Amino acid sequence: MYPRAALKFALLAQLASLASATYSDPKVLDACPGYQAKNVFNYGHKLTADLVLGGTACNVFGNDTEKLKLEVTYENKDRIHVKITDPATNRYEVPEEVLSRPKADLSAGPQTSNILFNYTASPFSFSVYRAKTHEVLFSTASHPIIFEPQYLRVKTNLPANANIYGLGEHSDSFRLPTHNYTRTMWSRDAYGLPQGQNLYGNHPIYFEHRTTGTHGVFLLNSNGMDIKLDDTEGTGTTLEYNVIGGVLDFYFLAGSESDPTELVRQYADVVGTPAEVPYWSFGFHQCRFGYANYIDVSQVITNYAAAGIPLETMWTDIDYMDRRRVFTVDPQYFPLNRVREIVDYLHAHDQKYILMTDPAIAYAPGEGYGTFDRGTAADVWLKAANGSSPFLGAVWPGVTVFPDWFHPMAQTFWNNEFNLFYNPVSGIDIDGVWIDMNEPASFCNYPCTDPFAQARQQNLPPPRTSSPPDPNTPIFGEAPPSVRKRASAPDHSKDNVQSPPYAIANHAGSGALSDRTAYTDARHANGLIEYDTHNLYGHMMSTTTQGAMAARRPGLKTLVITRSTFAGSGAKVGKWLGDNLSTWSQYKSSIAGILGMAGIYQVPMVGADICGFGGNTNENMCARWAMLGAFYPFMRNHADLSAISQEFYRWPTTAQAARNALDTRYRLLDYLYTAFHQAKKDGSPVLRPLWYAFPKDTNTFAIDSQFFFGPSVLISPVIDADSTSVDVYYPHELFYDFHTLAPTTGGSSVHLTNVNFTSIPVSIMGGAVLPLRTQGQYTTTALRKTDFELVVAPSLADGRAHGSLYLDDGVSVVPLMHTSVSFAYEKGRLNVQGWYGYATGVNVSRVRFANTKSAPKSVTLNGKTVAANKVAFDSSTGVLDVTLGISFKSSFVVELH
């Protein structure tokens, strides 16, 4: 691109920004004519209509489409699908291969539905409301729909001070602000996770919670969009979609009037239930950007062992690569034979190894770089606007190309690269995959007239800053492809895909959609362009990478951790929250981040970089974060190249905090594994905000400094910098201290003092039976050989408790055998029953009964009296311990008499 063209695009961007400011006035948009519904046909389970422009076109960001097609389908009793399209134009829709559409129940209809669709013909508006109470959940009344080539607008009225959650990845509060607030969907490399801006992932689903129930709205659209929440109009809150392409494809979810988790399961019916991950992946992971060589990596492994801090998986960032090129090792700093020595050592000690794999491939014609040469031969690169030459960016290796994940040979190409480089015989036998920069990120500022010059200017790839180690330095002592269908490509010849007339609030660089990423006019093999598919790039790389790992190890569960996600990504991969900072505010905001992914978006294998990625942490912060991070489903310590070293063993307090928290986490690992299995079965959330369990308690609606780990374990971390106290809200129920089982009757906030820097408040909610390992271990392999104990924590209302346990081999996608056990306690009787197909190989050492009012006269196990010396009652805590020591291979009953 020449300077004159660059100036042209800058002027277009400025004009688009001015137009957005003028026409974003709600009064202007609400004065548009909207549509009239004609030729309405009602088939019971389905309604169709033509929507005809109702007056003089508004043409705010283009020409109003004169005739639309409306299709409303009752897909089941809890889901209504509302779709509005332009029947005269082949507009882009999210391809089926990205998100397979849910099947509809042919017997569904308004007679059996929990929510209903209603419309007004002229001017056309529609509403969705509860069938039982007629409570309106979504209404476009007085807000005309606008449908133009590059601008779609739908607006709904909500109650004042609406409780809205979701709307994609962000660093804001879990309950979203409703005053002049915008959520923008446009994936970008977002170092520092700034508040109020677009980040890496896009999930256009929101939950609205009311004391009368919880419902959800999902817009299946991958184009750039702004979703605005505002209460300045004085009539309550409004929520407005401003979308720059595609179609209006809504799924309205009834949720429940009493159980918010039912809504989470309903959303899973649309986007898929999350993947089960291997048992070992719940162990502790260590990484950093900046391990200079293989000796650094080996020393971290041995230092964790020396400190007695469990380490399950060692990771290596792009440092290992030759000139930052994926599928290579630096022969001087990370020689292949020494990296293989590290992997062999880890595997011999029941530990794992993971490497970074980026999407950007070095553009290296004639240099003998195998990955580039093979991808070029297969023609799998994303193309420039001309459709023939590869699109070029500038990333870590310098000038790069990008795989086109829609290419029919993409999976074959990626599988082959994994088989060649991650080969257990001749390469590096990784156990999982970490993929980054897949928005896709580029360091090239728009307009990037010369990526080669920008790469030189930014000194890419960056040179090494240390001398290579002696390659003989001793360490550790002696020791089938899928074919993607071609989509029917939309015609964008008349559209301005670089500077669309409505400018979304993209915070990347200059704000241009193509800034620091693949250009919006870059072309895929199936005819689609990045303008429509940009928000899918990370999702497509994720699913292709998961496919490559599954092909490497057929039949085994995979762990793939990605940065950029879209709706449905969790069905294949896990996610970390990206490049956070070592600050107390981001320590706290990570809770809202993991609640969004694991509690709403069906991406439960999620965590934040513990102790922070960018900037320098300190002993107290890292100690607090180690303890909070122990209750992220994905637990990893990771730091930036420029940050100080922050491995847990670096400070005495942090080391002890990590040991304590990991002991608690590992004791709960089977409880967590069970929660993931349940999530795979029906979408039940792995992490939960407090209001999921207490939907009528308005005090819980805004809380995002506490959360439930699984269904029953309440985590209440100290939030304030260097503080040793915290205000904990206990809803109306009994809560038991995890370690002492001392009960607290909820219903108010409690100020906890003397919470030292090696402890974190963990409570068990009344009504739970928890299966715990008796103690943590250094590895999950050792943990699985450790006995169980059961903790019975009766509820406040009726003294009952229940729980479950799922066990299998921990690695197989379809295990040959499994054990599934349920626990039920009532009136002094604990019934443990289930299917014992998988041999646990361990015992149930004891049962701990909390909140026991007095010592029982006797205790029986399967009707036989337990010896008095195996029964211990602590009157000060109300805890009754019953030692069993029985093999955990059959059902049993323990009764208190």
Assess if residue 10 is contained within a domain: no
- Average pLDDT on 494-500 reads 96
Please check the confidence at residue 487 and state whether its pLDDT lies above 70: no
Residues 844 and 709 in one domain: yes
pLDDT at 234: 73
Helical packing angle, 410-421 and 370-378, nearest 10°: 160
End-to-end CA distance of the chain: 85
Q: Give the chain's domain count.
A: 3
Residue 708, domain CATH: 2.60.40.1180
Confidence band of 44 (pLDDT split at 50, 70, 90): confident
Same domain for 283 and 266: no
Question: What confidence score (pLDDT) does residue 23 get?
Answer: 54
Q: Quick check: 4 pLDDT over 90?
A: no
- Least confident range from 35-39, 61-65, 234-238, 741-745: namely 234-238
Residue 10 has pLDDT above 50, yes or no: no
pLDDT of residue 486: 46
Whether residue 16 lies inside any domain: the answer is: no
Q: Identify whether 290 is part of a domain.
A: yes
Give the whole-number percent of the chain exceeding pLDDT 90: 94
162 and 222 inside one domain: yes
pLDDT of residue 242: 98
Residue 747 CA to residue 697 CA, distance in Å, equals: 9
What's the pLDDT tens digit per position in 206-220?
999 999 999 999 999
Residues 6+ away with beta carbon under 8 Å from 877: 740, 741, 742
Same domain, 604 and 587: yes
In this structure, are 304 and 174 located in the same domain? no
Catalytic residues: 436, 439, 579
Q: What is the band of 233 on the pLDDT scale with cuts at 50, 70, 90?
A: confident
Q: What is the pLDDT of residues 727-761, one digit of tens each?
A: 999 999 999 999 999 999 999 999 999 999 999 99
Question: 238, 271, 304: which is the final residue of a domain?
Answer: 271
- Average pLDDT estimate for 657-661: 98
Same domain, 804 and 741: yes
pLDDT digits (tens, 9 = 90+) for 806-815: 999 999 999 9
Residue 6 has pLDDT above 50, yes or no: no
How would you list the strands of the sheet with 713-715, edge to edge? 687-688, 707-709, 713-715, 762-765, 734-737, 743-745
137 pLDDT more than 80: yes
Of the pLDDT bands very low, low, confident and very high (cuts 50, 70, 90), residue 22 is: very low
For residue 689, what are the contacts with CB-CB under 8 A and spacing of at least 6? 165, 174, 595, 599, 700, 703, 704, 707, 708
Kindly state whether residues 330 and 429 are assigned to the same domain.
yes
Q: Determine, yes or no, domain membership for 9.
A: no
pLDDT in tens, 677-711: 999 999 999 999 999 999 999 999 999 999 999 99
Final residue before a domain boundary, out of 237, 271, 305:
271
Q: What is the pLDDT of residue 549?
A: 98
For the cut 90, the answer to whether the pLDDT of residue 154 exceeds it is yes
Per-residue pLDDT, averaged over 2-27, amounts to: 47
Tens of pLDDT, residues 432-474: 999 999 999 999 999 998 999 999 999 999 999 999 999 999 9
Mean pLDDT, range 581-600, rounded to an integer: 98
CA distances from residue 640 to 319, 473, 548, 591, 634 in whole angstroms, order as listed: 11, 26, 28, 21, 19
CATH label of the domain that carries residue 446 = 3.20.20.80
* 528 lies in some domain: yes
CA-nearest of 855, 664, 798, 775 to 882 is 855
Q: Is residue 803 part of a domain?
A: yes
The verdict on 695 and 648 lying in the same domain is: no
- pLDDT (average), residues 336-340: 98
Domain at 124, CATH number: 2.60.40.1760
Residues 231 and 140 in one domain: yes
State which of 225, 252, 271 marks the end of a domain: 271
pLDDT above 70: residue 221 = yes
Q: Determine the pLDDT at residue 121.
A: 98
pLDDT at 16: 44
| Structural domain boundaries, residue 438 | 279-484+508-616+636-655
Give the model's confidence band at 235: pLDDT under 50 very low, under 70 low, under 90 confident, else very high: confident
Q: Are residues 834 and 701 in the same domain?
A: yes
How many Å apart are CA 165 and CA 601, to the nearest integer?
11
Note whether 301 and 176 are same-domain residues.
Answer: no
Residue 484 pLDDT > 50: no
Is residue 321 in some structural domain?
yes
Q: What is the pLDDT of residue 488?
A: 64
Mean pLDDT rounded to a whole number for the chain: 95
* Residue whose C-alpha is closest to residue 159's, from 236, 250, 253: 236
Q: How far apart are CA 225 and CA 246, in angstroms?
A: 10
Kindly report the pTM of this predicted structure.
0.96
Q: Which residues contact 252 (CB under 8 A, 6 or more apart)?
A: 79, 80, 81, 82, 115, 117, 128, 137, 138, 215, 216, 217
Let me know whether 880 and 837 are in one domain. yes
Task: Give the model's pLDDT for residue 14.
Answer: 43
Residue 161 placed within a domain: yes
Q: Is the pLDDT of residue 483 over 50?
A: no
Distant-in-sequence, close-in-space partners of 383: CB < 8 Å, separation ≥ 6: 389, 390, 391, 404, 522, 523, 524, 525
